[in-house]
Amino acid sequence: MKEMILILDFGGQYTQLIARRVRECHVYSEVIPWHTPLPEILARQPRGIILSGGPSGVHDEGAPRIDPAIYEAGIPILGICYGMQLTALLLGGRVERAREREYGRITVRMKDRDGLLEGLTESSVCWMSHTWQVTECPSGFHAVAETEHCPVAAMENREKRVYGVQFHPEVTHTAEGKILLLNFLFKICRCSGDWNMKAYAETAVRQIQDAVGPGGTVLLALSGGVDSSVAAALIYRAIGNRLTCVFVDHGLLRKGESDQVCHVFSHLFPVRFIRADAADRFFADLKGVTDPEEKRHIIGRDFIEVFRKEALSLGKMDYFAQGTIYPDVIESGQGSNAAVIKSHHNVGGLPNELGFTELIEPLRMLFKDEVRALGETLGLPRELVWRQPFPGPGLAVRIIGEVTPEKTAIVRESDAVFREEIAAAGLDSRISQYFAVLTNLRSVGVMGDERTYDYTIALRAVTTDDFMTADWARLPYELIERVSARIVNEVPHVSRVVLDVTTKPPASIEWE
Ligand code: XMP
């Protein structure tokens, strides 16, 4: 790697976001644990080092400390929040409990805008979240920014190229954070900014090759979603068909998806591909079940059993691969350390049962949009890479009441019509998620001269940034009209179409 910024992680909630912002500036960056020995850090020849924030106070017992020799290595350093306080403490400054805890958007006065703060406005809104603060800079440093309550909101020692900021330049609430990061990367660290996803793919391929070794084999559970598909494509690049993918087709995917997955991984990325066609088993086990949680439970259990049976019939593999991405890592509270490979400690997980002790997780440092960009770089089809989220239990949670093959066909066909029309209207990239739901409701209709008594399809379309909250999408009436007419005409046993106009909360996005 020609040019790299290393981020020492002190456990801050935004650490990976720093890495992502740096990568957005076309400079490669990696997060490593704060206790990585200094010689190891120096051996990687970073262009610059960023010390992240963290939950500890610098004076807490057992608070993370680093070797102060890092400041003498001639490498530019930027400390953020805890990283700044630690720098101040280790170099002889003073860090004290703030009299006024600052949290949220705070106006910061930029006093000296010649160095790190070049190009920022004098009074700039920044995101702060701290209890401790630097009250006295170490010798050789001077305060370059302040707030009403914080005398040293930023400090610098230009000669040694060591900097600190109390606020968080990586979050979007810090209006001019990007300018600050650009200054650090390009003016101070003198990066050239020639990194891109292609380079990431090359690095990841090398890391996978090193981790797996020359003859090692890898097993991956392919769901057909974006993450596992991108992971499979990447690992295939690294080790070819020493990768085996097992795809459990539960018969509850959207129209065309199962065939597309099979096509991609037998033609574009010809891995050793096993398709377990298990729809009959899933439908048999779901027969008569109406409770949403019970459906999910049955599908989860069946999935594991089918996968295990297939995996065991393949003989021993060396590694188990997963398309875990950074938000999953955070959600499971596992921290952000190893890049590609980590010891496996999933509680009660499938890899354990199959006897794997180590996992290959090549996407664990990436955010969703970075994963999509990587997928495109690797040459995966756009429809697959830009696929909207889809629940693991599939269409089963979009059929209210009992799941049967007939009802699955109704919701699948209705959904396909809806998707087609949204795409034709050019709205697919503007709506975060949209799908059809088969309500269990039947109502009276009239078709031709005949009375009908058939199902009601609900259309759900939402816009959201994070899927935690969502608004219903204001679809054009003409579009709704076309979708409704087509579904009723083309899909047998549907006689009525309704539109879901509920936000989340109080409703969830899925109906079950
Ligand atoms: P809700 O319905 O909770 O959904 O508002 C939020 C997002 O999560 C997706 N979702 C799931 N994804 N397994 C998944 O992988 C699931 O069981 C599951 N349930 C909901 C949902 O599609 C939406 O994007």
pLDDT, tens digit, 9 for 90 and up, residues 83-136: 999 999 999 999 999 888 888 999 999 999 999 999 999 999 999 988 899 999
**112 Cβ inside 6 Å of ligand 1:** no
- Please report, for residues 101, 351, 406, 510, the alpha-carbon distance to residue 86 in angstroms, rounded to integers and kept in the order given: 18, 39, 63, 46
Query: What's the rounded Cα separation, in Å, for the pair 427 and 433?
Result: 11
Q: What is the DSSP letter of 186?
A: I
Smallest CA-to-CA distance from 88 within 143, 128, 169 is with: 143
CB–CB of 185/191 below 8 Å? yes
From 509, 511, 512, give the residue whose CB has the most ligand 1 atoms within 8 Å, as the site to mutate: 509
Instruction: Report which residue type is found at 258.
Output: S
Smallest CA-to-CA distance from 469 within 442, 504, 435, 422 is with: 504
Smallest CA-to-CA distance from 365 within 385, 386, 338 is with: 338
User: Relative to the CA of 225, which ligand 1 atom is closest?
Assistant: 15
What backbone torsions phi and psi does residue 469 show, to the nearest 5 degrees?
-125, 155
Kindly report, residue by residue over 156-198, the tens digit of the pLDDT.
999 999 999 999 999 999 999 999 999 999 999 999 999 999 9
Residue-level pLDDT at 54: 93
User: Relative to the CA of 508, which ligand 1 atom is closest?
Assistant: 5
Query: What's the rounded Cα separation, in Å, for the pair 138 and 85?
Result: 11
User: pLDDT over 70 for what percent of the chain?
Assistant: 96
Query: What's the rounded Cα separation, in Å, for the pair 135 and 359?
Result: 45
CA-nearest residue for atom 4, ligand 1, is 509
User: pLDDT over 90 for what percent of the chain?
Assistant: 84
- Please report, for residues 218, 325, 336, 367, 428, the alpha-carbon distance to residue 371 in angstroms, rounded to integers and kept in the order given: 20, 8, 16, 6, 19
**224 Cβ inside 6 Å of ligand 1:** no
CA-nearest residue for atom 14, ligand 1, is 391
Residue-level pLDDT at 353: 81
pLDDT band at 466 (very low <50, low <70, confident <90, very high): confident
Smallest CA-to-CA distance from 411 within 385, 389, 386, 440 is with: 440
- For the segment 349-356, the average pLDDT, to the nearest whole number, is 81
Query: What's the rounded Cα separation, in Å, for the pair 8 and 87?
Result: 13
- For the segment 339-366, the average pLDDT, to the nearest whole number, is 73
- For the segment 251-262, the average pLDDT, to the nearest whole number, is 96
Give 104-145 as a DSSP string. EEEEEEE---SSTTTT--SEEEEEEEEEEEEEEPPTT-EEEE
Residue-level pLDDT at 341: 58
CA-nearest residue for atom 15, ligand 1, is 391
pLDDT band at 413 (very low <50, low <70, confident <90, very high): very high
User: Relative to the CA of 389, which ligand 1 atom is closest?
Assistant: 24
CB–CB of 246/276 below 8 Å? yes
Distance 224 CA to ligand 1 centre (A): 15
H or E segment to which residue 208 belongs: helix 197-212
CB–CB of 76/183 below 8 Å? no
**292 Cβ inside 6 Å of ligand 1:** no
Residue-level pLDDT at 338: 41
What does pTM read for this prediction?
0.82
Instruction: Identify the residue with better confidence: 407 or 14.
Output: 407
Residue-level pLDDT at 348: 47
pLDDT band at 330 (very low <50, low <70, confident <90, very high): low
Smallest CA-to-CA distance from 255 within 375, 52, 398 is with: 398
Residues acting as catalytic residues: 81, 168, 170
**510 Cβ inside 6 Å of ligand 1:** yes
- For the segment 273-283, the average pLDDT, to the nearest whole number, is 97
CA-nearest residue for atom 7, ligand 1, is 467
Kindly report, residue by residue over 300-324, the tens digit of the pLDDT.
999 999 999 999 999 999 999 999 8
